[in-house]
């Protein structure tokens, strides 16, 4: 399709329309700020009303500012117009899809999808038909009767049959029927109006009239490509993050409007007491106010001891367990991975196979893995204890000794439960870390090893003197990410342990406690506060790691 260039007069006319549109946009947005407060649209709580009002107010002000810039023929006005129209366009498109129930329709598609799968085979066959010509081109065929042309129609036919089989026609009709309501029609109108405005503003004549430069177009395209990810980040990550920060200052239960409680949630988390015990077994109620505090633990020494009590003992138990978990799980998933990567980095035959084998636990579903380990760990009929028993019996018979079978209660003994989880976590993340180390090893110049060999260095000296220092950036990344993962341990504990807190709360972790508080005890506000304390703990640990990394002189500059 050929493009028709616009005359200057026409361009000016369109520009004026855009200026008017910006003012109308501002008026509409301003009117929109009133809707939450006069009951046109219902919101569950005040924060939602305030948020919507603030967004619309900013949009209105930005639109007015954009109109002013457009009158000055400033390119900033064009950028503002494009941004606002694009965001409004996306919002309307989402409302259209939501009103048409496309999102919840995914389940229905899942039910009918299987019926259409064989017809996708036709589309695949069409693709191969086209591929044949790629490899065996025949000169006497014209572009219209070539295999490629045929293949395109076959692919299209296959897709059409597929859509027919999965009931797409009914789906379309249903979608349209759901749109036929005021909300849907307004959203469709919004899509059309904002889409048209966008298209118009993107026209080269208008860009030229607004003094657009080449880099402006590049910037716009860059943002456009970035926008799906950026919007997803803002809506599904940054938004909830800010929201959880707000909730952490409320008593939200997720169902009813939250009340502002200030720092109460944080104060409860951090409310602890230490008290001296006159005897190691002195009751906590004799030294702290038991109506507020619960015993978390006690340090016994001599004829006395020190009691540690907290208003929320579960938080401190969870913190203790999480730190213990990280303390063991991180070295156990990093050090073996480092050694393993050195072995797998050799050029021995079959190494690629083993690389895949070690990586497998990382891609397997955590739920499945945890269930398998649950069986392995069973104290009475599990394989681990079975092999320990067989091994001990063999040893006893062979050497005529009487070693007692420990019959370890892996997941039901408070002394071993957390260790059982550590083993799974380390086993699971070791493969991924190995691959990261492998990538790091392959970036170390071979000349360094050759020079070291010439200097008479042995394998161990090369490892300490070359491999380890050269791998420092990789090691830093691996240790940091593994530590963060370890501090957020949840799935393994949740699935493996029954109850998840384990015997005597020995496997309660911070994320597990957060989950329990928010989703089982209806304390979303308190759970949010726990999440932010966890964030601070992880941030602090990562900061320490960064500082240690900076001290490394090898990679400075």
Partner 1 sequence: MKKSFVFKMLSLFVIASFALAACGSPAATEAPAETEAPAMTEAPAVTEAPATEAPSAEEVTLRWRTRPDNQEEIDVYSQISTELDAQLDGITLTYEPGGTEGANYQDQLRSEVAAGTAPDVFWIPGTDVADFATRGLILNISDLAAQTEGFNVSDFYPGPMYHLTYNPETDASGADSGALWGLPRDVSTFALYLNLDLIAEAGAPDPRELAAKGEWDWDAFLDVAQKTRALGSDIYGYGASAWWGPYGVWLNASGGGFFTADRKACALNTPESLAGLDFQRSLYQDYDVATPYGEDPEPPFRAGKVAMFQNGRWATPGVRTVDFNWDVVELPNGPKGTPGNWLFWGAYVINAKTAHPEEAWKLVQALTTAETQGKVAALGANIPSRVSQEALDAFLTFTPPANNQAFLNGIADAAAPTAEGPLWAGSWPEFDKIMGPAIQGVLTGATSVEDFGATICDEANKVFNQ
Residues of span 248-277 touching partner 1 by CB under 8 A = 253-256
**Of the candidates 71, 145, 170, 211, which one interacts with partner 1 according to CB under 8 A?**
170
Site size toward partner 1 (CB under 8 A) is 71
Cα–Cα distance, 179 to 184 (Å, whole number): 4
Q: Give CA–CA dist 159/305, Å, rounded.
A: 75
Q: Does residue number 174 form part of the binding site for partner 1 (CB under 8 A)?
A: yes
State the Cα–Cα distance between residues 543 and 319, nearest whole angstrom.
18
Closer residue to partner 1 in complex, CB, 42/229: 42
Query: Minimal distance in Å, beta carbon 43 to partner 1?
Result: 9
Q: Is 499 in the site for partner 1 (CB under 8 A)?
A: yes
Stretch that binds partner 1, among 239-247, 446-454, 475-483, 494-502 (CB under 8 A): 494-502
The Cα 139–Cα 537 span in angstroms is 69
Q: How many residues does the chain have?
A: 557
Contacts of partner 1 in 411-470 (CB under 8 A): 411-414
The answer to whether the beta carbons of residues 379 and 406 sit under 8 Å apart is: no
Give whichever of 197 and 524 is closer to partner 1, judged by the CB atom.
Answer: 524
Cβ closest to partner 1, residue 79 vs residue 155: 155
Greatest extent of the chain over all pairs of C-alpha atoms, in Å = 106
Q: Does 376 bind partner 1 (CB under 8 A)?
A: no
Question: 256 by DSSP, 3-state: which?
Answer: coil
Helix or strand run (H / E) with residue 398: helix 383-399
Please report how close the Cβ of residue 313 comes to partner 1 at its closest, in angstroms.
8
Nearest approach, Cβ of residue 33 and partner 1 (Å): 20
Say if residues 169 and 112 touch (Cβ distance below 8 Å). Answer: no
Per-position b or e across 131-146, b if 16+ CB within 10 A of its CB: eebeeeeeeeeeeeeb
> Minimal distance in Å, beta carbon 443 to partner 1?
37
Binding marks (x or -) toward partner 1, 300..339, rule CB under 8 A? Answer: --------------x-------------------------
Q: Which residue number, 211 or 256, has a Cβ lying nearer to partner 1? A: 256
User: Are 375 and 382 a contacting pair, CB within 8 Å?
Assistant: yes
Q: Does 283 bind partner 1 (CB under 8 A)?
A: yes
The span from the CA of 200 to the CA of 20, in Å, is 14
Q: What is the x/- site pattern for partner 1, positions 511-550, by CB under 8 A?
A: -----x--xxxx-x--------------------------
390 contacts partner 1 (rule: CB under 8 A): no
Binding-site member from 7, 71, 111, 213 for partner 1 (CB under 8 A): 111
CB closer to partner 1 out of 64 and 296:
296
Q: Which stretch binds partner 1 (CB under 8 A): 168-176, 204-212, 296-304, 466-474?
A: 168-176
Q: What are phi and psi of 199, to 5 degrees?
A: -60, -45
Q: Name the minimum Å distance from CB 368 to partner 1.
A: 9
Instruction: Report the 3 state secondary structure along 420-434.
Output: HHHHHHHHHHHHHHH
Work out how close the CB of 104 gets to partner 1 at its nearest, in angstroms, rounded to a whole number. 6
Phi, psi (5° rounding) for residue 507? -125, 15
Q: At what angle do helices 168-179 and 105-135 cross, to 10 degrees?
A: 130
Instruction: Among 46, 443, 504, 552, indicate the residue that binds partner 1 (CB under 8 A).
Output: 504
* Structure token digits, residue 224: 């456009």
Binding to partner 1 in span 13-72, by CB under 8 A: 42, 44
Query: Of 30 and 412, which has the nearer Cβ to partner 1?
Result: 412
The minimum distance between CB 21 and partner 1, in angstroms, equals 27
Q: In terms of C-beta density within 10 A (0-12 exposed, 13-18 middle, 19 or more buried), how is residue 84 classed?
A: buried
> What residues between 83 and 102 interact with partner 1 by CB under 8 A?
100-102
CB of 260 to partner 1, least distance (A): 16
Strands 294-301 and 304-310: antiparallel
Q: Chain centroid to CA 391: how far?
A: 43
Would you count residue 105 as binding partner 1 (CB under 8 A)?
yes
Decide: is 124 part of the binding site for partner 1 (CB under 8 A).
no
- DSSP β-bridge partners for residue 310: 272, 294
| Whole-angstrom distance, CA of residue 551 vs CA of residue 457 | 26
């Amino acid at each position: 399709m050929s493009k028709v260039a616009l005359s200057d007069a026409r361009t000016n006319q369109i520009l004026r329309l855009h200026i008017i549109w910006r003012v109308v946009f501002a008026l509409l947005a301003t009117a929109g700020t009133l809707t939450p407060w006069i009951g046109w649209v219902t919101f569950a709580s005040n924060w939602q009303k305030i948020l919507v009002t603030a967004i619309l107010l900013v949009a209105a002000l930005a639109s007015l500012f954009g109109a002013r810039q457009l009158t000055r023929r400033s390119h900033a006005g064009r950028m503002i117009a494009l941004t606002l129209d694009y965001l409004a366009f996306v919002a309307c498109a989402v409302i259209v899809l939501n009103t048409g129930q496309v999102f919840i329709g995914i389940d229905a598609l899942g039910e009918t999808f299987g019926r259409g799968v064989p017809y996708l085979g036709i589309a695949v066959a069409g693709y191969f038909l086209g591929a044949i010509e790629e490899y065996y081109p025949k000169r006497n065929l014209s572009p219209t009767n070539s295999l490629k042309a045929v293949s395109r129609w076959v692919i299209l036919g296959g897709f059409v049959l597929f859509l027919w089989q999965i009931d797409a026609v009914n789906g379309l009709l249903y979608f349209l029927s759901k749109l036929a309501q005021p909300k849907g029609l307004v959203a469709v109108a919004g899509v059309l109006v904002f889409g048209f405005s966008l298209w118009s503003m993107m026209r080269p004549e208008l860009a030229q009239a607004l003094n657009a430069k080449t880099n402006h177009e590049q910037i716009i395209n860059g943002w456009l490509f970035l926008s799906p990810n950026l919007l997803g980040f803002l809506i599904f990550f940054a938004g909830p993050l800010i929201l959880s920060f707000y909730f952490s200052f409320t008593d939200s239960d997720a169902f009813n409007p939250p009340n502002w409680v200030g720092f109460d949630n944080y104060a409860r988390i951090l409310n602890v007491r230490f008290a001296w015990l006159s005897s190691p077994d002195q009751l906590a109620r004799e030294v702290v106010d038991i109506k507020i505090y619960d015993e978390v633990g006690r340090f016994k020494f001599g004829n006395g001891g020190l009691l540690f009590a907290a208003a929320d003992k579960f938080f401190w138990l969870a913190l203790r367990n999480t730190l213990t978990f990280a303390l063991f799980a991180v070295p156990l998933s990093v050090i073996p991975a480092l050694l393993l990567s050195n072995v797998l980095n050799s050029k021995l035959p079959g190494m690629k196979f083993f690389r895949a084998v070690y990586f497998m636990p990382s891609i397997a579903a955590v739920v499945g893995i945890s269930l398998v380990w649950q069986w392995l760990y069973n104290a009475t009929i599990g394989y681990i204890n079975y092999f320990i028993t067989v091994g001990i019996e063999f040893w006893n018979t062979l050497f005529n000794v009487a070693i007692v079978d420990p019959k370890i209660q892996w997941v039901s003994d408070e002394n071993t439960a957390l260790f059982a989880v550590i083993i799974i976590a380390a086993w699971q993340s070791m493969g991924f870390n190995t691959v990261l180390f492998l990538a790091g090893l392959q970036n170390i110049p071979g000349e360094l090893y050759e020079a070291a060999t010439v200097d008479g260095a042995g394998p161990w000296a090369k490892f300490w003197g070359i491999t380890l220092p050269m791998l420092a950036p990789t090691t830093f990344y691996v240790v940091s990410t593994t530590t963060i993962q370890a501090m957020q341990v949840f799935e393994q504990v949740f699935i493996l342990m029954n109850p998840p807190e384990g015997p005597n709360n020995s496997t309660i972790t911070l994320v597990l406690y957060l989950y329990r508080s928010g989703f089982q005890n209806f304390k979303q506000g308190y759970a949010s506060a726990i999440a932010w304390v966890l964030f601070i703990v992880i941030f602090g640990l990562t900061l320490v790691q960064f500082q240690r990394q900076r001290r490394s002189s090898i990679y400075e500059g």
